[in-house]
Every structure is written in C-alpha cells, then in structure tokens.
A and B are shown apart, each in its own frame.
Chain A
Amino acid sequence: MRIMFNRRHLIGAALAGVSMLATASAAFAVDVTIWCWDTNFNGAAMKEAAARYNAAHPDVNIIIDDSDTQDNIRQKLQTQLLAGTTEGLPDIVLIQDDQAKKYLLSFPGAFEPIGDTIDMTQFANYKVAAATVDGKSYSLPFDSGVVGFFYRSDYFSEAGFSDADLQNLTWDQLIEIGKTVKEKTGHELFGIDYNEVGWIRMMLNSAGQWYFNPDGTLNLVGNPTFKAALKVYQDIWTNGLAKPVSGWTDFTNSFTSGDVAGVPIGVWIVGTIKANAAADSGKWAVAPVPRLDVEGSINASNWGGSSWYVLASSPTDEKAAALDFLKTVWAGDVDFYQKILVGQGAVGTWLQAREGDAYKSSDEFFGGQPVWQNFSNWLAQVPDVDYGIFTSEVDSAISAQLPTIAQGGDLDAAIEAINAQATQATQ
C-alpha cells in the first residue's frame, strides 16, 4: 500500500522477472511501523535492531513509535480490533505476555502465526508457550521477566548479613532477616503498592502455578500455593517490613532512593535502578528470588516480560518485511543481544544470545557480580505457566482484597471474596 515506486526499483523488478516476485517485498521501499512503550528500554532495543537491519536492507523504512504508554497502546489496539478497522494499526506491536492469550482468543485471525516462519524452539519455552494457541505460535519473544532479588548490600551487611546469607532462601527466612535489617538500619524491606498484584503472581509462578487450572477454571479456593503466597504477603506487612507506596514511580523511588532495602522484581528493572541510583553504584547486589514453603516452588520466577506480534491485517509486503526483520535480527544476531543487554539491561529470550561475551561479564554496579550469567541460569529454570485469558480480571479481584490482607485479615475469607469476584468477572 505504501510502496514508493521509483524508477530504479521498477527496472530492478522487471529485470529480475517473475522469480523475483516471491521476495519482491524486499526490492521496494517498505514502511514497517512498530509500537512499543518504553523509550529507554524496548524502544531503544528496537531502534538498535532497526539500525542493524537497515545496514543490509536500506530499502526497509522502520518507523518506531515508542511515545505512548503500555495502557494507551492496549487501548488503541483493542479499540481498533473491536472496531474491525486496521488502517490505524502498526505492522508490529509489543504485548505483555500475560495479556497475549486474551488478544489471541478474542480476536482470532488478527495476528500472524510467526511460528510458521521462525523456528520457535530457539526461544525460552515459557515465552513461546504464552503466545501459543492451538499449536500455532504468534509472538517473537522479547525480554525476560526473570526475577532477581535486588538489594542494598550495604544495608544488609550493616545488619550483619553477607551476600552468602541471602542465597536460595524461603520467603519466611527473608522475612526473618528483614526484621533484623529493619531493627538495625531502620529501612523497611520493600515498598509495596496495594494495587500491585505482581507480588502474588511472582510467588505463584515460582511454583509453576497461575490463577487457573489447566481447563481454564479458577484455581484459588483450596489451593495451598495461593494461600501460601497471600500468607507471605500478609507477613511482610504485619511485620512492618513494607512501606506503602502509590503508583509506579513512587514504587521505583522507594528502592532507587535507598528508602527501602530492596525489591524482588523482573530483570528489566536494572535500567531504572542504574539510572536513578547511579550514586549508589557498587552498593547493590542481586540474589535469587526466595521460594515459597510449598511443594514445587523453586528459587526462580518471572515478573512481566513482553513479546513482538505481527498484525495479520498488514499489507503483504509490509508483513513480509516485518517477518524478515524479526527473523534476521531478533532470531539471528548474537551481537545485537549483547548490545541491548549492555545498553538497556534487556535480557533476551533467544537462547543462543547467552553464548555472547556480554552475558559472561561482571557488573561493577552490582559489586562485580556476574549478574547476567546468574540471570540466564535462573531464566532457564523459570517454570512455565498458562496465563489464560482472564488474568486482568483476577488481578483486579485480588487487588481489591490486598489492603485487608495486609492489615492481618482472615486469609480464607479473603480468598473466598477474591474467588467470588473473579468468578463473577470471568463468566
């Protein structure tokens, strides 16, 4: 549609003849439009990818729009898919993994099955599973949300704990340590926003669980893992180890400012920490995320992470260029993954990327730890879960109960209330 016919291209196409038509998309100047939401993170990574692709394919014009927030992108995407219009949509869009199934199942045919073009076994399995419906994979996996426990080693050592004391803990053990840290240094362990359900999800994920049974029904009442997660959440609050915060920036400020002692969260937070806590370089460290005291829970989990989707409605030539771009750079360029790891702290999920040099280096910001190697090891262990289509609905039901739970409310009653609201919302 947006092909620009200039004479050189026409002659080229004519000379190449019919055989050229199959791959003609590359011969014309094509605009590939991409939506993503964080200028410093996925936007920057995408710009790097585009620059690399353009070196060999100058005729593909890659337009990256990273000026909107994730909420706004969801809203624009959903409005247009609901309206059944496509002219305002990009060719490639970034979607967070827990939202993927909802889009794939509500708007069948809206997304291109990338698995038909690109070999999906090259990517971390749990990422591929999040976007696979009826055996077809629809996403090119981008970043991992593998969780690390980021903490201020100076606070912990002041309280008498070395880095070795923080390895492979259970949550209960960390809470005990946290009490001492609070007592000795005055810093709470975490800043927590009542609206943030990520804490519960991260704990469930460490046991390979989510809100749902394999058949899609709710798995909340009578689920010991879910109750254990809520119990840990409650203990953090009732022991005075949480500082209430509101909103994302308030949350990130709580740890980047050194107000609280740490945060267990996805590796994508590295950029934020380094940017806002630059003065505290060397005082930070990363340990494996604690596990729940239930069967199957391990010291590895996931929080967030997103993947690239190609819109099926894109014009043929743009779609072909988009797929070729993803295949060439995102599923074939080891150096690219080193560059975005160093530049943006983006841990890709293309398995070969881990063989690069950057993944083997140590980081002075984190006291010379080989953080990337650690993260890739944990990444390999993250249990895969099925996010289903109603994650946002259950999130909302849980967040409604979190303040009550934090104040020491009865867990069984809270679970009943969550279940009631979730059942209602997922009909």
Chain B
Amino acid sequence: MASRVVVREHINGWLFIAPALILLGIFMIYPIIWSLWMSFQTGRGMNFSFGGLANIQRLFADTVFLRALGNTMIFLVVQVPIMIILALLFAVALNDTKLWGRSFFRTAIFLPCVTSLVAYAVLFKSMFSAEGVVNATLVGLGLDPVPWLTDPFWAKVLIIMAITWRWTGYNMIFYLAALQNVDRSIYEAARIDGVPPWARFLYITLPMLKPVILFTTVISTIGTLQLFDEPYNITQGGPSQATLTLSYYIYDLTFRFMPSFGYSATVSWVIVVLVGILTFVQFLVAREGRRA
C-alpha cells in the first residue's frame, strides 16, 4: 500500500517536469554539448581541428580575456551587493502598511525594469553624455562635470549605476512578494514582546526571506557574469576595454573577430565554471547561516 503511493509519487514527479525536461534537452543540453565539444577545437571559420587543451592554455596568455574577467568580477563584487541591499531595504520599508504613499513608491521603484533595454540604453547615453542633463545638474550645483562615458573609471561606475537603476526594483518585488507570505502574527508577537525594528529585521525578516535572497543573489550573479546588453549599448565595451565583459568578449570572438568558435566556447565555459563555484559558495553560506 505504502509502496504503491511511493511509486505513484515517483511517476507524478516525473510527469510534472517531463515537458520542461524534454524541451530543455533539445534546446539547451544539445547546444551545450555541442559547445563543450567545440571548446576543444581550434581553427578559424568553419575549419576546425581537435586542439586538446590549446584553448585553455590560450586563456592564460590572453590579456583581453584577463581584463574582461577582471571587469566582470568588479561588476559582480560591487554591483550585486549594492543592489541586493537596496532592494531589501526598500522592500522592508514598503512592506509597512501604514506607510503613506506606499503604492506610489513601490510602483516608481519598480518602473525602471519595465523599460525596454534599447530605450533605456538610449536614455542613459543621452543623460550621461558630456553635456547631458546629469553633468548640467552637477555644474549647476557647483561641482565638476564627470566624464561618464569617456573615462575608464567613470564608465564602470555608469554601467554599475545603470544596472542598479534597472534591476533594484525587480529584486525588490521578489522580496515584497515573499514578505506578503510571512505570517504577520509573528511580527505582532515580536512587537508586543518589545523586539526593536532592527532586531525584527535581522532575526525574523532575514531568515524568512533567506530562500528568496539566495534565489535573487544567484540570479543576479548569473546575470552579472553574463553582462552584455548594457556595455554593448551604452559604452561599446570602452573606453579602453574598461567595460568589456566576458559575454562581450565572447560576442567579439564570435561575430566581430575572425570567427574562432572553439575559443569563444571555451570562454563561455569559464563563465559556467565561475557560476558553479559562486553558486556553491552561496548555498554553503546560506546553509551555514541556517545552522547557526
């Protein structure tokens, strides 16, 4: 009797995920295997030959690759924490039902992520141009204009600001949704017991939100490691390759340079390995936290 239930559970488990698995097998796993196989091939255009680990050796001598890797890591380390913390703070502030203008703030902060990528790239480029509205404001405040698009350092800052502008509200919505599912009576009880707000945040909200925080962190890590659209549309990877990312380099290797598909496949596997490591670390941290 019990075993029949187990078998039925098992069959159902497979049936629910079958359509997705079949589609993923065809449109994801097959191309991935193809790309894995390609990463061991060398050659230009469509003339390939087996190169063994030649592509991996090439990585370590490739200054452009190392620069793209460095840039990507900077974006990751700086941008993701800023965005996650901002999103969390906004979500907690806006979860307060007594906050005046709550739905206005929520909508306003979420709005950036519904713009189309192309539209927002055009807007940021024009607002942050040398004599754009941002610099005009800075000058009006008696400050020096900032070379946003033409200085390697500020171009990185601009890209970080652009991504943060677009995606903070997006992450906030995940937290807000999760907070709605948190039982309010727990807060009430804590409040009556005299637990101060910061402690409620730390000891009730954060642990409750942990699965969602983990989820958004992993997704943002992946998104940043694959960062392409913003540097491509706002800074063209420049100036001086200051905003060149790994995905951008893959694009260059595939479409702009003499097509060297094996090598570009190798670079994309670097991203996979990085995400694998980082996700593992993030899950470990989350688990440690739960035990503590």
Interface residues in chain A, defined as those with a beta carbon under 8 Å from any beta carbon in chain B: 71, 74-75, 78-79, 81-82, 84, 102, 105-107, 193-195, 243-247, 250, 389-390, 392-393, 396-397, 399-404, 420-421, 424-427
B48 CB to nearest A CB, Å: 11
Q: Which residues of B contact A402 (CB under 8 A)?
A: 239-240
Number of residues from B at the complex interface, CB < 8 A: 32
CB < 8 Å neighbour of B64 from A81, A244, A421: A421
Cβ distance B124 to chain A, nearest Cβ, rounded Å: 11
**Is B257 a contact of A392 with CB atoms below 8 Å?**
yes
Is B63 located at the chain interface by the 8 A CB criterion? Answer: yes
* Complex Cα spacing A79 to B259, Å: 10
Closest to B252 in A: A396
Given the known interface contacts A195-B236, A244-B147, A424-B64, the answer about A102 and B258 at a Cβ–Cβ threshold of 8 Å is: yes
Contact across chains for B150 and A106 when beta carbons are under 8 A apart: no
Chain A residues lying within 8 Å of B237, measured Cβ to Cβ, are 195
Contacts of A244 in B (CB 8 A): 130, 147, 150
The reply to whether A393 and B130 form a contact with Cβ atoms under 8 Å apart is no
Q: In the assembled complex, how far is the CB of residue B250 from the closest CB belonging to chain A, in whole angstroms?
A: 13
A332 to B257 alpha-carbon distance, docked (Å): 35
Contact assessment for B44 and A106 in the assembled complex, using a CB-CB cutoff below 8 Å: yes
Question: How many inter-chain contacts with C-beta < 8 Å in the A-B complex?
Answer: 102
Q: With A and B bound together, what is the CA distance between A392 and B261 in angstroms?
A: 16
Q: Which residues of B contact A81 (CB under 8 A)?
A: 45-46
25 interchain pairs (CB within 8 A)? A71-B255, A79-B255, A82-B46, A84-B46, A106-B46, A193-B150, A194-B238, A195-B236, A195-B238, A244-B150, A245-B150, A247-B125, A247-B236, A250-B125, A250-B130, A250-B149, A390-B258, A396-B252, A399-B240, A400-B67, A400-B241, A402-B240, A403-B240, A421-B63, A425-B62
Check B149–A78 contact: CB distance below 8 A: no
In the assembled complex, the Cα of A216 lies from the Cα of B258 at a distance in Å of: 14
- Contact with B149, one of A75, A246, A390 (Cβ below 8 angstroms): A246
Closest A-B pairs by Cβ, 3 of them: A106-B45, A246-B149, A194-B239
Whether a CB of chain A sits under 8 angstroms from the CB of B129 is: yes
Chain A residues whose C-beta falls within 8 Å of the C-beta of B258 in the assembled complex: 102, 106, 389-390, 392-393, 426
- 0/1 per residue, B256-281, Cβ < 8 Å to A? 11110100000000000000000000
Q: Is the CB of B239 within 8 A of A247?
A: no
Say yes or no: A246 contacts B45, CB within 8 Å: no
Is A105's CB under 8 angstroms from B147's CB?
A: no
- A401-B240, A404-B240, A424-B64 are contacts. A392–B259 as well, Cβ < 8 Å? no
Minimal Cβ-Cβ distance residue in B for A393: B257
A409–B256 CA distance with the chains assembled, in angstroms: 28
Chain A residues with CB below 8 A from B252, complex form:
392, 396
Interface contacts beyond A106-B45, A396-B256: sample of 13 additional A-B pairs, CB < 8 Å, sorted by A: A78-B259, A81-B45, A106-B259, A107-B46, A193-B238, A245-B150, A246-B150, A399-B238, A399-B239, A400-B241, A402-B239, A403-B239, A425-B64
